[in-house]
Amino acid sequence: MDNYVKRKLQEWVLSEYIDNFKVQQISETNFKLLLGEEKALEALIPPWGPRLLFKKKLEELCNNYIEPSTSAMLSPCGTSTPGKRNTDEANPLITNTPKRLRGTSLGRADDMTKGKQIMKRVKGKLQSKPADQQSSLKFKEFLSYKIKVLETDKKEVVGVFGKTGAGKSLLINSILDQRNLLPSGDVSACTSVMIQVEANMTRDGKYTAEIEFITQEEWEEELQSILAERKSEEGSDDEKEDSDGDIDEYDDADKIYALYREDGNEASVNNLMDSKHFKSIPEFLLGKKKEFKTSQAEELSRELWRYLRSDRLSNEQQYWPLVKSVTIKIPNVKDLLEHIVLIDLPGNGDCNKSRDEMWKLVVGRCTTVWIVSEINRSVAEKEAWEILDRSVSYLGHGGQCRSISFICTKTDNICVDYAMNKERDSILSRNEVAKEKVEEKFNKQTKIKEQFNIDKDFFQVFTVSSKEYRKNSVLQPEDTEIPKLQEFLRNLNDRRTKTSDYISGAYGILSLIQGAKSSDMTDSKKEVCQVLEKKLKEGLETLGQSMDEAYEAFEQCLSRGVRQSVETCEKIAKDKVIEPKGTNGRGYHKILKSLCKNNGVYKPIRKKGQKRQRERNLNDSLASCMRDLSNETFKKYFPNQGKDSSINDLIDNFTLDTNSLVEEHPQVSLHLIFLKTEETKLKAKLKRDIRERKKEIYNILPKSINDSMRPCYERAAQYTGTDSLESMRKELRNHLNKSKEEMFHKAKKEMLDLLKEMKKHIVEELERELQESMSQSLKTPDSLLVPDVSEEYEEMKKCYDKLPSSTNAATTA
């Protein structure tokens, strides 16, 4: 029996019959053939009740149809569907009314494959024969571009955070049914390496890995920082007073030992940068990526071990200090990861600038976040909650996160002197208590509420046991909640919506080609074009006025923020950075100097056995008043989930309403189908643009303040000697006192300018793209010289007709 059958039985809550299927050698290739085989089903699942459930599920699988009630039943919460993609991004051509596929049992995924094969043929026809007319040539170029844009895949990003040893690697392995993919064990993990896991969509069935290294310059700079800290004669007593985190389990100095072993002792930076140390990884010296390809997960794991793990007991050279990120692609996980990237993330940014910037970028792209912690420490452990606290601004207004899940691992780790059934009851009882306590603590996180519109689906708690998922000695697979997380990913993967989007767009393009071959439509095309141009003008005016209201709302809250910032900035700077409580001159001057050298940001060197030092960011502290006063406005106009009166809602309300013209102008119905699909795709693209631009808008305040403070930072960093601490403090205080008015007004102006640019971009994109689409569909000559795609059109129409509620006014041609 293969993993496919096992996953299906677990998904359908029929795990107790797995052994029966295994004995009868039921695999993915013959699984669907059980439909209608009553005697075989009776042998596999004797009880009537479970057998009827299996038959219903198998029938739905073969028809590739899932009723809404089924989705709810499979949901971890029972009443909602975890990981469900934001319906705002769904194709407006498709409503939520489902219907069975007609005339074929071909699945949606197969429709995607078939659709792409059809469009590949269309591309070939467009390229095979040169156009004889200039208008036909331009039309072909337009079509080729539209097909290319259609094939761009946008993936969801799931960020997995957690402390070393929390069980992240084992969790990912279990969810993907890969026993030995990511290295895991008792050795401490390298917390600075970012591991990206996605599906290998090629047909070679291989496990692949691509390793990206930091640059030689970045490594040299990091070495200088580590060695400077090593040589420092200042004690760590003052830094201990300044700490507030968990005990560090590895040391930044461990990076030197990992890469150089004994050769790193007392060596200079020049010696450590000698090329002889990098003979076994020439890719690092050449600035290239290193690649691996294997047939088995275990093979790949062995190859990657030295790039991912930190083990002081090993005599082998380890390369993880030089690794920026690792991308792993695995076969046979299309149902989970076709449109998803799982990223095992360090808990926070890195002192290496390149890795730190990459961390911020990736966290800002996470649509879902999993916080992983051992169940015994899920509430009390500081690090898991600090990860969430430090990341929230990159996930919320500065990102695109739509849901957060807290995953309590190692639930099987419990001491009970009872029989097996009592042990199971004890584990499940503790799981429920843990969920309640974690939810209670989450509800007290004020920073989360400032950044998100919290609803019942936003936060979930899972209690999992990767060990028991494989052993099944005490817990049933569904007890481990690994199947729930797999279902979470399936819902997020949402291959149905991806297929619908592709088929709808492709059908629109083929409709236009078919319509372009028709003749005697000049008058109808001209009349329809005039109506649509009028609607476009009126719609853009309405949209612009609504966006002006958003601008005014931001102007008001930012003005209040400027006034408050001017009044409080000097005290905030003193309390947070310049002279915080609990510090004195013996050690704090190093922290302040490091902060000034790094443009207002202090990232501490990690020291094994010592409490983790607090990060300090003066730019963020100075921007805090303006951000706090604009948070509610951000939530209103740029929510990550929900619509309300958001900018996305304004985009959704904009429409050319082409459906209303079909009945009166049936001659151009194919052209109108194309324009409807183009409008849908354009609005989806604009919402993605808004999502990226709002991150820039939110982050502009500390960036602008950083630019204003930079001359001061540079001057302060030059001070040396016994009075250097007081000199740096004085420099910072004087600069703030003199420039605060100008600095905060400048930050406000830059944010408002970005809002203006966003409005301009939206209006201009809508006008330009829709005018171009109208021009190519309604202003081109009749009977254009285009390839005959009648066969492809009919094939695509069959795929389109199988989509839910595709028989609307726009498809009555």
Query: For 744-772, how does the pLDDT look when each residue is reduced to its tens digit (9 = 90+)?
Result: 999 999 999 999 999 999 999 999 999 99
Over range 195-212, report the average pLDDT.
Answer: 92
Residue type, 807: T
Which pLDDT does position 243 carry in this prediction?
46
Check if the beta carbon of residue 802 is closer than 8 Å to that of residue 101: yes
Which pLDDT does position 14 carry in this prediction?
84
Give the tens place of pLDDT for each residue, 581-624: 877 666 788 889 989 999 999 887 665 555 567 789 999 999 99
What angle in degrees, to the nearest 10, is found between the helix axes of 216-231 and 353-365?
110
Which pLDDT does position 100 carry in this prediction?
26
Which pLDDT does position 126 carry in this prediction?
84
Greater confidence (756 vs 520) lies with: 756
- Check whether 577 has a pLDDT greater than 80: yes
Over range 279-289, report the average pLDDT.
Answer: 93
Give which of 31, 398, 338, 413 is closest to 154, Cα–Cα.
338
Greater confidence (501 vs 813) lies with: 501
Over range 100-107, report the average pLDDT.
Answer: 33
Three-class DSSP category at 654:
coil
> What are the structural domains, with CATH classification, of the chain?
3-46 (no CATH), 156-230+250-414+423-493 (3.40.50.300), 518-580+588-605+613-781 (1.20.120)
Which pLDDT does position 348 carry in this prediction?
61
How far, in whole angstroms, is CA 773 from its chain's centroid?
Answer: 31
C-beta atoms surrounding 497 within 10 Å: 18
Virtual torsion, Cα 178, 179, 182, 183, nearest 10 deg: -170
In angstroms, the CA 175 to CA 106 distance is 27
Cα–Cα separations (whole angstroms), residue 310 to 272, 273, 346:
19, 21, 14
How far, in whole angstroms, is CA 656 from its chain's centroid?
Answer: 32
Q: Which of 225-234, 236-245, 768-777 has the lowest mean pLDDT?
A: 236-245
Give which of 281, 278, 275, 222 is closest to 253, Cα–Cα.
222
- Check whether 806 has a pLDDT greater than 80: no
In angstroms, the CA 753 to CA 794 distance is 49
Q: Which of 155-164, 356-365, 417-426 has the lowest mean pLDDT?
A: 417-426
Q: pTM, whole model, 2 decimals?
A: 0.78
Which pLDDT does position 71 carry in this prediction?
32
* % of the chain with per-residue pLDDT over 90: 44
Average model confidence (pLDDT) across the chain = 83
Give which of 598, 627, 604, 804 is closest to 710, Cα–Cα.
598
Over range 415-423, report the average pLDDT.
Answer: 64
Which pLDDT does position 783 carry in this prediction?
63
Which pLDDT does position 242 carry in this prediction?
45
- Check whether 218 has a pLDDT greater than 50: yes
Give the tens place of pLDDT for each residue, 37-49: 888 888 898 887 7
Which pLDDT does position 220 carry in this prediction?
92
* DSSP strands (E only) in 660-729: none
Which pLDDT does position 538 carry in this prediction?
95
Close Cβ partners of 438 (under 8 Å, ≥ 6 residues apart): 378, 379, 406, 408, 461
CB-count burial class (<10 Å; 0-12, 13-18, 19+) for 727 = middle
In angstroms, the CA 302 to CA 283 distance is 19
Give the tens place of pLDDT for each residue, 424-457: 889 999 999 999 999 999 998 888 888 888 888 8
Over range 534-563, report the average pLDDT.
Answer: 95
Three-class DSSP category at 547:
helix
